[in-house]
Amino acid sequence: MNSYDLPLAIVIAVLGAAFGSFFNVLVYRIPRKESIIFPGSHCPACNRKIPPWLNIPIFSWILLGGKCKYCKTAIHWHYLILEILTPLVFLGVFMVYGSENLFLVLKYCLFFGFGLVILFIDFFERIIPDVISLPLILTGIVFSFFPANDITWKLSLLGGVITFGFFYLIGLWYLLTRKKEGMGGGDIKYIAAIGTFFGPINSLFIIIVACAVALVIMIPLLRFKKEYFPFGPFLVIASYIVMFFHESMFSTITTLTY
């Protein structure tokens, strides 16, 4: 770690906490089709405006004991979790790419920041809104045209087209044969966004890891709960894992191949 990394890491952590607070707004308002700008921060139970000194990420939730100051309605636990997770995720990205490649730090902080929004919305609402996934697809392609990017624009486009096309056909096949939806359109579009950010090879790793994590977690629960479970959170988790270990995964596959 060079002399610039620690101060920069602190700045990234603080920004992460602030963005975590904003992401909470997105998690609550986007599924309800509410404006993410107006009105300002307020308690959804009593509609009282939350002043800035009661809207400090992480600390305000703890100091208020997880309750609204005015009506004492409980503030959901996910507000605190997301405000803690976001700076940790941002710091993880910084650990991987460091101060020598701030372009990729920005790219993947953006990807994983909105990935956390998708994780919580899909977990609670069982949807991945187009208003998040479609801009992510475009953003991944735009990033690919910059020289500092880690994949070329051709690989970005190829990753998006292959992942979208393959899973669209799987979803269509399942719908035609089983007469019910097996994979939501939101999942398919988010997978396409993963393709534009990571390219086809790493996207394949992400999908494999997501399926493995989903099986490990969901198989013990199938006997108790047979309803649809969201796949988005597993894709987000798998993307984060592959970001850390994609080089070792690729080298392992290469070794096994040869």
* Average pLDDT of the residues in 182-188: 81
- Binned at pLDDT 50, 70 and 90, residue 39 comes out as confident
* Average pLDDT of the residues in 117-122: 96
Torsion of CA 138, 142, 148, 150, to 10 degrees: 30
Given a cut of 70, is residue 182 above it in pLDDT? no
pLDDT value of position 139: 97
Contact 63, 74 (CB under 8 A): no
pLDDT value of position 251: 52
Given a cut of 60, is residue 161 above it in pLDDT? yes
pLDDT value of position 42: 86
pLDDT value of position 52: 86
* Average pLDDT of the residues in 192-217: 92
Average pLDDT, the chain: 88
Residue whose entry in the numeric block shows the structure tokens 């998040």: 132
**Based on C-alpha coordinates, what's the Rg of the chain?**
20
| Between 253 and 97, residue with greater pLDDT | 97
Given a cut of 80, is residue 196 above it in pLDDT? yes
Choice among 31-35, 64-68, 93-97, 218-222 with the minimum mean pLDDT: 218-222
Give the HSE-up count for residue 197: Cα atoms under 13 Å, Cβ half-sphere. 30
Tokens of 225: 């709960």
* Average pLDDT of the residues in 141-145: 97
Given a cut of 50, is residue 63 above it in pLDDT? yes
Q: What is the tens place of the pLDDT at every residue in 171-181?
A: 888 778 877 76
Per the document, the length of the chain is 258
| Between 71 and 251, residue with greater pLDDT | 71
pLDDT value of position 257: 43
- Binned at pLDDT 50, 70 and 90, residue 222 comes out as low
- Binned at pLDDT 50, 70 and 90, residue 258 comes out as very low
* Average pLDDT of the residues in 138-153: 96
Give the HSE-up count for residue 204: Cα atoms under 13 Å, Cβ half-sphere. 8
- Of all residues in the chain, the percent with pLDDT exceeding 70 is 88
Give the HSE-up count for residue 153: Cα atoms under 13 Å, Cβ half-sphere. 8
Instruction: Parse the chain into domains and list their residue ranges.
Output: 1-125, 128-258
Helices of type H across the chain: 5-29, 59-63, 77-97, 102-125, 130-143, 153-178, 185-218, 232-257
What is d(CA 229, CA 102) in angstroms, rounded to the nearest whole number? 36
pLDDT value of position 40: 83
Given a cut of 50, is residue 72 above it in pLDDT? yes
| Between 18 and 178, residue with greater pLDDT | 18
Residue whose entry in the numeric block shows the structure tokens 């396409």: 192
Tokens of 2: 């060079």
Given a cut of 80, is residue 224 above it in pLDDT? no
